[in-house]
């Protein structure tokens, strides 16, 4: 990964129960780029991803990135498309909406994309075609249809206990262009926009973002956020100037600790990035992690300028189960989908690998007789 949050400064966090919000502030907005919104009545969408397959999801809103130098007072909107100019008539409303692309140019100056769904589609499409070589272990379904259909369960932010109240209560800082959301001090998501006006318009839409099973369960547990405050030592403070200097030092220490420790695993240097669209010096991309076990793994999407500076960012933390699925698919693909070679690379037997695939939800990819053979082999090897 080459993404950085240069130009964004971390401000003191605000905590409410298990929710901790860490504001990100820009000295100067990113020029020539704004996010806008358009409300949709029906949030269920069917998106043609362009290769004969469709992506079905609950889409509460879309974003529109605007490259024009128009009215600077325009703000990001809830549910948007990228349009060359405002249209008089809204698209037809229906219970199921059909959209041409996950990210599509809608005029020379605008791009419409569905927030987070671009990243989730990238995860669901991971080795979507299944085995490239027809080894004998794979079922007819695996050869003919690959991993289709794939589905994952997510939760609306409204169902993450405390998040709605925190967003309503917490202060929005002057110049704030982003936020990092923590639940029980686990990094749940990051959200960055190019302009403070965009953030003010989109702050409340975080309750309609997607969150994984881990974050949902942490919210249910209600474990309070830890006390990370560092009191100011009054020794040596004899004036308002000294107090201001001490407070500034504490803010810098907090920002350094947060960026290096709490948010240190947001971007994975061993992950992969896929460019999706490019317009006027900005690039819309999505990224996947390396799927390392027993660590944080985030998927997400960004808009960056030519210098690699992040103008827009939205991320989703994968659950441990989702990480294991991605890990298995990556290792299988790296060993040309050969079960014996993959098992050897993992240091386990073929039966153990088959059972791991079954637990990960990939049992239908294996021939039934092969899976039954490995199940029997595992039972014989189990201690009495």
Q: What percent of the chain has pLDDT over 90?
A: 36
pLDDT at 108: 57
pLDDT at 72: 40
Residue 297 exposed, middle or buried by CB count within 10 Å (0-12, 13-18, 19+): buried
Which has the closest alpha carbon to 158: 221, 217, 205, 224?
205
Which has the closest alpha carbon to 350: 144, 145, 136, 124?
136
Residue ranges of alpha helices (H) inside the chain are: 117-124, 140-145, 163-169, 196-202, 213-221, 240-257, 320-334, 339-346, 350-359, 368-381
Binned at pLDDT 50, 70 and 90, residue 219 comes out as very high
Query: Which one-letter DSSP state was computed for residue 254?
Result: H
pLDDT at 73: 38
- pLDDT above 80: residue 100: no
Which residues lie closer than 8 Å to 219 by C-beta, 6 or more apart? 18, 19, 159, 160, 161, 162, 163, 183, 184
- The whole-number average pLDDT for the span 145-155 is 74
Cα angle for residues 177, 298, 210 (degrees, 5° grid)? 70
Asked whether 216 and 155 are in contact (CB, 8 A), the reply is: yes
Binned at pLDDT 50, 70 and 90, residue 174 comes out as very high
The pLDDT tens digits of the residues spanning 327-375 come to: 999 998 889 888 899 999 999 998 899 999 999 888 888 888 888 888 8
pLDDT at 306: 82
Q: Which two tokens stand for residue 348?
A: 């386990």
On average, the pLDDT of the chain sits at: 80
Longest CA span, the chain: 80
Binned at pLDDT 50, 70 and 90, residue 38 comes out as low
Asked whether 79 and 62 are in contact (CB, 8 A), the reply is: yes
pLDDT at 130: 67
pLDDT at 96: 36
3-class secondary structure, 4: strand
Q: Which two tokens stand for residue 69?
A: 């130098």
CB neighbours of residue 161 within 10 Å = 17
Q: How far apart are the C-alpha atoms of 140 and 311, rounded to whole Å?
A: 45
Binned at pLDDT 50, 70 and 90, residue 1 comes out as very low
CB neighbours of residue 307 within 10 Å = 9
The pLDDT tens digits of the residues spanning 49-91 come to: 566 666 555 555 566 666 554 444 333 333 334 444 445 454 4
Helix, strand, coil abundance in the chain, percent, nearest 5: 30, 25, 45
CB burial of 355-367 (b: ≥16 within 10 Å; e: otherwise) equals bbbbebbbeebbe
- Name the pairing type of β-strands 176-183 and 19-26: antiparallel
3-class secondary structure, 219: helix
DSSP track, 65-124: EE-S---TT----SS----SS--SSPPPP-SSEEES-SEEE-STTEEEE-TTHHHHHHHH
Lowest model confidence (mean pLDDT) among 25-34, 276-285, 336-345, 353-362: 276-285
Phi, psi of 100 (to 5 degrees): -75, -40
pLDDT at 5: 85
Residue 136 exposed, middle or buried by CB count within 10 Å (0-12, 13-18, 19+): exposed
- pLDDT above 70: residue 216: yes
pLDDT at 378: 82
pLDDT at 91: 41
Q: How far apart are the C-alpha atoms of 350 and 25, rounded to whole Å?
A: 51
Q: What percent of the chain has pLDDT over 70?
A: 74
- pLDDT above 60: residue 123: yes
Binned at pLDDT 50, 70 and 90, residue 180 comes out as very high
Higher-confidence residue of 186 and 33: namely: 186
């Amino acid at each position: 990964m080459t993404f950085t949050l240069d130009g964004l400064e971390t401000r003191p966090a605000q905590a409410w129960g298990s929710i901790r919000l860490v504001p990100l502030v820009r000295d100067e907005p990113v020029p020539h780029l704004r996010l806008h919104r358009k409300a949709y009545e029906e949030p269920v969408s069917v998106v043609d991803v362009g290769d004969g397959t469709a992506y079905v999801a609950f889409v509460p809103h879309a974003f529109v990135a605007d490259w024009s130098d128009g009215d600077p007072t325009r703000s990001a909107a809830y549910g948007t498309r990228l349009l060359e100019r405002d249209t008089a008539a809204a698209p037809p409303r229906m219970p199921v909406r059909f959209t041409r692309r996950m990210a599509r140019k809608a005029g020379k100056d605008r791009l419409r994309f569905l927030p987070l769904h671009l990243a989730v589609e990238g995860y669901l499409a991971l080795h979507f075609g299944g085995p490239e070589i027809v080894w004998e272990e794979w079922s007819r379904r695996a050869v003919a249809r690959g991993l289709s259909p794939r589905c994952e369960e997510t939760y609306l932010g409204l169902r993450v206990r405390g998040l709605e109240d925190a967003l309503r209560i917490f202060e929005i800082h002057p110049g704030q262009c982003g936020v990092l959301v923590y639940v029980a001090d686990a990094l749940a998501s990051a959200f960055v926009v190019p302009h403070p006006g965009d953030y003010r318009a989109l702050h409340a839409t975080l309750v309609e973002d997607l969150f994984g099973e881990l974050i949902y369960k942490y919210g249910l547990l209600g474990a309070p956020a830890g006390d990370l405050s560092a009191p100011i030592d009054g020794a040596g403070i004899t004036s308002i100037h000294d107090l201001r200097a001490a407070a500034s030092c504490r803010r810098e220490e907090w920002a350094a600790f947060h960026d290096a420790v709490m948010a240190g695993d947001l971007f994975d240097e061993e992950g992969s990035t896929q460019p999706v669209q490019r317009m006027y010096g900005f690039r819309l991309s999505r990224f996947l992690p390396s799927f390392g076990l027993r660590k944080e793994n985030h998927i997400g999407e960004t808009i960056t300028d030519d210098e690699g500076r992040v103008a827009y960012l939205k991320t989703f933390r994968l659950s441990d189960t989702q990480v294991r699925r991605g890990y298995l698919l990556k290792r299988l693909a790296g060993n040309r989908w050969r079960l014996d070679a993959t098992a050897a690379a993992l240091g386990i037997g073929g039966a153990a690998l088959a059972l791991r695939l079954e637990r990960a939800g990939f049992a239908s990819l294996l021939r039934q007789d092969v899976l039954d053979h490995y199940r029997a082999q595992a039972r014989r090897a189990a201690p009495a």
